[in-house]
């Protein structure tokens, strides 16, 4: 492995040492960027799951509400229908 050349002025380095420093710097920057990207991605996916769950909860509550309202109106309809049929039987 090579010794640490970070304190040596650039004009005193040979091209191979300079290239290796650039490669290491590029790798360091990529690792920083990739770590930040993965953190951002995790936050995004977490937020996406939260939003999906909120929408699913809303959909379920709307479904339950309409199911209850349908049952109420159905009972009301059957009550009126029975009332009407009972009236008709009298004649």
50, part of any domain: yes
Number of domains into which the chain is organized: 1
16, part of any domain: yes
- What does the radius of gyration of the chain's CA atoms come to, in whole angstroms? 36
Per-residue pLDDT of the chain (91 residues; tens, 9 = 90+): 456 666 667 677 688 888 888 899 999 999 999 999 999 999 999 999 999 999 999 999 999 999 999 999 999 999 999 999 999 988 7
**Of the candidates 1, 2, 29, which has an alpha carbon nearest to the alpha carbon of residue 13?**
2
Tell me which residue range forms the domain holding 23: 10-89
DSSP string, 40-66: HHHHHHHHHHHHHHHHHHHHHHHHHHH
4, part of any domain: no
Helix (H) or strand (E) holding 9: none
Give the whole-angstrom CA distance, residue 84 versus residue 49.
Answer: 52
Q: What is the pLDDT of residue 1?
A: 47
1, part of any domain: no
Report the Cα 23 to chain-centroid distance in Å.
Answer: 35
Give me the residue label for tokens 């710097």: 25
**Of the candidates 3, 37, 35, which has an alpha carbon nearest to the alpha carbon of residue 21?**
3
Whether the full predicted model's pTM is greater than 0.85, yes or no, is no
């Amino acid at each position: 492995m090579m010794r640490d050349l970070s304190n040596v002025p650039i004009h005193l380095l040979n091209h191979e040492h300079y290239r290796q420093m650039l490669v290491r710097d590029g790798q360091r920057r990529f690792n920083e960027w990739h770590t930040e990207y993965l953190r951002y991605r995790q936050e995004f996916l977490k937020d996406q799951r939260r939003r999906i769950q909120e929408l699913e909860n809303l959909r379920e509550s709307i479904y339950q509400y309409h199911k209850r309202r349908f049952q109420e109106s159905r009972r009301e309809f059957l009550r009126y229908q029975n009332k009407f049929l009972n009236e008709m039987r009298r004649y």
